[in-house]
Amino acid sequence: MLKPVYVLNGPNLNRLGQREPAIYGTTTLDEIEALCRQAAGPEGLVFRQTNSESCLIDWIHEATDQSCGLVINPAAFTFYSMAVMDALKMYPHPLIEYHISNIHRREPMYHNSLVSAHATMVMAGGGAAGYPHALRLLREMISGQASAERLSGTG
Ligand code: CA2
Domains: count for the chain: 1
Across the beta sheet with 45-49, the strand order is 45-49, 5-9, 69-73, 95-99, 121-124
**Is pLDDT of 155 > 70?**
no
CATH number at residue 29: 3.40.50.9100
Domain range for 107: 5-152
- CA-19 nearest atom, ligand 1: 20
Q: How far apart are CA 140 and CA 148, in angstroms?
A: 12
Task: Name the catalytic one among 6, 24, 91, 131.
Answer: 24
- Is position 80 annotated as part of the catalytic site? no
Provide the whole-model pTM: 0.94
Q: Give the Cα-Cα-Cα angle 94, 73, 112 (nearest 5 degrees).
A: 95
Whether the predicted pLDDT of 1 surpasses 80: no
Q: Quote the CA–CA distance of 51 and 145 in Å, as a whole number.
A: 32
pLDDT in tens, 69-124: 999 999 999 999 999 999 999 999 999 999 999 999 888 888 899 999 999 999 99
